[in-house]
Structure 1
């Protein structure tokens, strides 16, 4: 992520990342919005919570509070710039998306393709019976571990059109039940 993109994101989130400075000083120090966003992005990119907490100078539990509040600020933002993951819905949008795939394919080999889809099993610790109704449904027999099924779709320029946690690990192919949006 470029410095300009990072700065724009901090400005876009604005007040949602701000906290009461007086209260922050009472807990050991105020953590600036840019630093909150840095912690969250670094953690989402796979950074160790121990490294990030040590770098910023907060406890592990405080780091997770920062991450949780920052993700909540991003997810609940009404800012149009952050609402950019949309699957094509109309015939015109589907035709435009298919045209983009056709334009980048060799010899017009990819026609009538609106998006490419893939899934990923995100490994998790075994949930307790108090957390979920059916603990066994989180076990993937294929991967022999517990997890949740994450599905995503991208356009011809590798931009996300859809991202979703599709269900527990036992769910294999959610996209096979999606309605046909672009009739051939």
Structure 2
């Protein structure tokens, strides 16, 4: 087994991605990479901390704030998917967590029968992440997260200023002037 200080950056990232993707036990993640559970835990912690740094978040997770940025994204959605006016796709995804304290457990128990965070993500036509909202437990519906999000407020402001842009969401989201959900079985695969 290797010491986490001597593990290559590439292997640390692979360990973390494997753990994020499967939610598997750290010991199992490490077996294929000849790492012990403690090393995997350190790798996951280091990569997670790096991904959550202000440098990464501020430089790589940015909602389009200028009309020029939105126009570029709209054009890519139009060219690639033949859908006008779209500046992003939105959905919630459940990320498993350990069972929380009894008093708040009900806030995190999701419809899929496990404890989770319901994380709202907005991405562009090239799957670049534009916005992440990880404030809510798994029991919270996508529509509630949307209704209480800064992205919703921003999109409403754009609409009030007569800018014809919107996000695409699934049927878990309400139909709004700035948010369109799947209609008549229409599916977009990115």
Which residue is 1:176 aligned to?
147
Distance 1:89 1:28 in 2: 40
Q: For structure 2, list consecutive stretches of 5 or more residues without a partner in the other structure.
A: 165-190
- Cα offset, 1:29, TM superposition: 8.0
Q: In the TM superposition, what whole-angstrom CA distance separates every residue of 1:97-151 from its partner, at most 9, and x where no partner exists?
A: 2222222233xxx22211111112223342124xxx62221123x4343221011
Among candidates 148, 153, 174, match of residue 122 of structure 2? 153
Q: Is the 8 A contact 2:27 2:40 kept in 1?
A: no
Contact kept, 8 Å, 2:4 with 2:43, in 1: the verdict is no
Task: Give the direction of change, closer, same or farther, for the CA distance of 1:101–1:42 in structure 2 (3 Å limit).
Answer: same
Query: Which residue does 1:73 correspond to in 2?
Result: 50
Matching residue of 1:5? none
Structure 1, unpaired ranges of 5+: 1-24
Helix, strand or coil at the partner of 2:120: strand
| Aligned partners of 1:43 and 1:52 also within 8 Å | yes
Q: 1:70 to 1:146 in 2, by over 3 A?
A: closer
Residue of structure 2 aligned with 1:116, choices 73, 78, 89: 89
> TM-score with structure 2 length normalisation?
0.64
- TM-score, structure 1 length as denominator? 0.65
Following superposition, the deviation at residue 28 of structure 1 comes to 9.4
Find the structure with the greater CA-based Rg: 1
Could you say what secondary structure the match of 2:71 adopts? helix
For 1:136 and 1:57, how far apart are their aligned partners in 2? 38
CA distance in 2, matches of 1:28, 1:102: 46
Separation of aligned partners in 1, 2:106 and 2:88: 32
Cα deviation, residue 39, structure 1? 1.9
Flag the 1:87–1:66 CA change in 2: closer, same or farther, 3 A: same
CA contact (8 A) 1:121 1:148 kept: yes
Contact 1:123 1:147 in 2 (8 A): yes
Which among 79, 95, 99 is matched to residue 71 of structure 2? 95
Alignment-derived partner of residue 185 in structure 2: none
Count of residue pairs the alignment pairs up: 151
